[in-house]
Structure 1
Amino acid sequence: MANTEAIGSRLLQPWHLPGALALSAEAGWNQIAPDWLLMIEHGHAIGIEAGDDGALVASGLALPFGERLAWISMVLVTASHRRRGLASKLVSDCLAWLEQRGSVAVLDATAAGAEVYRPLGFETVRRITRWQHTGIAMSAAAQQPALQPQDIDWLAPLDRVVFGAERAFVLADLLRRPKAVALGLPSRDGFALSREGRVATQIGPVAAPQPEAAIALFDAMLARIHGPVFIDAYDDQATFATHLEKLGFRRQRGFERMVRGRIESFGDMARSFAAAGPELG
């Protein structure tokens, strides 16, 4: 691979799944096959291949949530091909694609990543902390209704208001997963979803009318989940974060939610307590 100018990206297809999984596993990330397939099917997933065997050495992705905005994520480069401008090329390709659509670009960046994205015009609008626990035994004080795929009929409109964009296809996918734990408030004004991961079960998104309801949902989720847990909680929800600390969760890393372009509002932040993950918003 001589230089970035000669390198072309291509759209990823389901048969690229083994290479995509290898990239995210090498980085220590949590994605599994259903996550990648969801993003490849619904997003602008691109990659760079190299070598005689055409191995996937880099990836990048823009996942549209309606026409208003799209998430940029899965910017990965295998160790042997770093420092060649591949990540920058893939991000530029994703941004060009979004500009053609007229969509606002959003992403969740690590502190180091934020310094790369800021010169590209991204501005921080919210901060997130990934909390983790090796495994916790909980007995929820109150049972919360288990959600079914048909609950998407009320989940999607609620999430559209709380999250600030249309991602019904993400929620529907999570509800259909065999090992998913998904709970809702009886009043249908709050919910918590989860998904199995390579390293840990990811809890999120979590939406509720107030912190006490979010905590009740979260505790009920923990009562049904065994093994390591991740949750990407919003830093401005202090009551919820304090509860995580009391349960013995520890901080793993921080993220900055960054936006490139003009956006009037970003959902109802008072009712959003945890994200779905850096790749799903």
Structure 2
Amino acid sequence: MAVTDAPLILKLSVDDAIAGLALSSEAHWNQTEEDWRIFLRDGIVFGIRDGMRLVATAALLPYSGNNAWISMVLVSGTHRRRGLATRLVDACLETARKNGLTSWLDATPDGAAVYGPLGFTPTLQLRRLKLTRPGRAELPPSSSATLEELAERDRRATGFDRTALLSAFAQRAGSLIVAANGAIALVRDGRTARHIGPLLADNAAAALVLVDQITRSETSPLLLDAVASQAAFMDGLTASGWTIERPFQRMRFGPATAAGEDMPFAVAGPEFG
């Protein structure tokens, strides 16, 4: 295919949320329509269509301190191995460069092999864990935790101010902010499973107690994206029935502009950081 015949890269709008959801659902990802609306409303989402059908996407979601997250890199099974994902990631990187943004992403092992030669630097590693059979619908843990407390702990862990993102999560039906004994977490709905994260805590024991309290109040499958270096936390989760689904490698393109003071135990998700 000649360069002039390459499919056009478009900027998508909030009207494309359902089409984006179809792509992430095809890939068996956990995003909801509300998640897509965050990217489309607060970030820049590039897409490629085949006729009227959306067949590929990549999103750039700006954060504070000249940082941005690249995610939602999706290509329909009917259009893979045509270089569409690379073109869309390049569009995200070029937009970040023009705006002076350092780009971050959480990559699968296959993705990390692609992003490394592009200039991305590995940082921390994540492990996605799943609990298929949680508790018996006990009452949710009582908590006087506030969005402000969660956002402040999240800022200390990431170096980013993500109050707007966490507020969008917290305002959804079914979302909870729970805290106990120096640990705090957000629980929200996903397409096929509830998601715990971010999870911040003073120590692994407090983090595990809070996760146990959450699981006892849930009946749906649960997902959690744990920081791999939090070994005691990881060991406690697997001992209590959580299974590791897949690894992710966090990577950065550009100078380090933010450094967290504390290490999180679980993140908001590979699509959000």
Instruction: Tell me if both proteins adopt one fold, taking TM over 0.5 as the criterion.
Output: yes
Partner of 2:53: 55
Corresponding position of 2:186:
193
Q: Distance in 2 between matches of 1:33 and 1:16?
A: 10
Partner of 1:175: 170
Q: TM-score, normalised by structure 1?
A: 0.91
Which residue of structure 1 lines up, in the alignment, with residue 75 of structure 2?
A: 77
Distance 2:210 2:224 in 1: 13
Identical-pair percentage: 37
Alpha-carbon separation, structure 2, partners of 1:4 and 1:195 = 43
1:32 to partner: Cα distance? 0.8
2:153 is aligned with 1:158: yes
1:194 Cα offset (Å): 1.7
Task: Give 1:134's aligned residue.
Answer: 132
Letter paired with 2:97: E
Partner of 1:9 in structure 2?
9
What are the equivalent positions in structure 2 for 1:94-105 lying under 5 Å apart?
Answer: 94-105=92-103
Amino acid at match of 1:262: P
Q: 1:8-27 residue pairs with structure 2 within 5 A?
A: 8-27=8-27
- 2:147 aligned counterpart, secondary structure: helix
Segment drifting more, 155-164 vs 174-183? 155-164
In structure 2, what is the equivalent of residue 28 of structure 1? 28
Displacement of 1:144: 4.6
Q: What 5-or-longer segments of structure 2 have no aligned partner? A: none
CA distance in 2, matches of 1:138, 1:210: 26
- Residue of structure 2 in register with 1:213 after alignment: 206
Task: Say which is worse superposed, 80-89 or 155-164, in terms of deviation.
Answer: 155-164
How many residue pairs match? The answer is 272
- Superposed CA deviations along residues 34-54 of structure 1, whole A, max 9, x for unmatched, are 111111111111111112xx1
Task: Measure, in 1, the Cα distance between the counterparts of 2:142 and 2:185.
Answer: 10
Distance 1:46 1:264, change over 3 A: closer
Question: Match of 2:87?
Answer: 89
Is the contact between residue 180 and residue 196 of structure 1 (CA under 8 Å) also seen in structure 2? yes
Change (3 A) 1:27 1:139: closer
Please tell me whether the aligned partners of residues 61 and 73 of structure 1 are also in contact (alpha carbons under 8 angstroms).
Answer: yes
Shift of 1:184: 2.2
CA distance in structure 2 between the partners assigned to 1:22 and 1:219 by the alignment: 33
Cα deviations by residue, 1:184-224 (Å, 9 ceiling, x for unpaired)? 247xx541012211121111110012112211221122122
CA RMSD in angstroms comes to 2.0
Kept after mapping to 1: 8 A contact 2:56/2:74: yes
Q: Tell me if the contact between 2:136 and 2:218 (Cα under 8 Å) persists in the aligned partners.
A: no
1:239 corresponds in structure 2 to 232
Once residues 4 and 167 of structure 1 are traced to their aligned partners in structure 2, the CA distance between those partners, rounded to angstroms, is 39
Deviations 1:219-277 (A, max 9, x none): 1221222121111101110111011111111110000001111215531343x100111
Give the aligned residue type for 1:60.
A
Cα distance change on mapping 1:3 and 1:40 into 2, 3 Å: farther
User: Partner of 1:96: helix, strand, or coil?
Assistant: helix
SS in 1 for 2:259: coil
Shift of 1:143: 4.4
Q: Distance in 2 between matches of 1:35 and 1:249?
A: 25
Farther-moved stretch of structure 1 (253-262 vs 222-231): 222-231
Amino acid in structure 2 at the alignment position of 1:244: L
C-alpha distance in 2 between matches for 1:224 and 1:181: 11
Distance 2:230 2:142 in 1: 22
Q: Name the SS of the counterpart of 2:272 in structure 1.
A: coil
TM-score, normalised relative to structure 2: 0.93
Q: Do the aligned partners of 1:4 and 1:84 also contact (CA within 8 Å) in 2?
A: no
- Structure 1 residue runs of 5 or longer lacking an equivalent are none
Pair 19,4 (structure 1): closer, same or farther in 2 beyond 3 Å: farther
Distance 1:138 1:210, change over 3 A: farther
User: Which residue number in structure 1 is paired with residue 261 of structure 2?
Assistant: 268
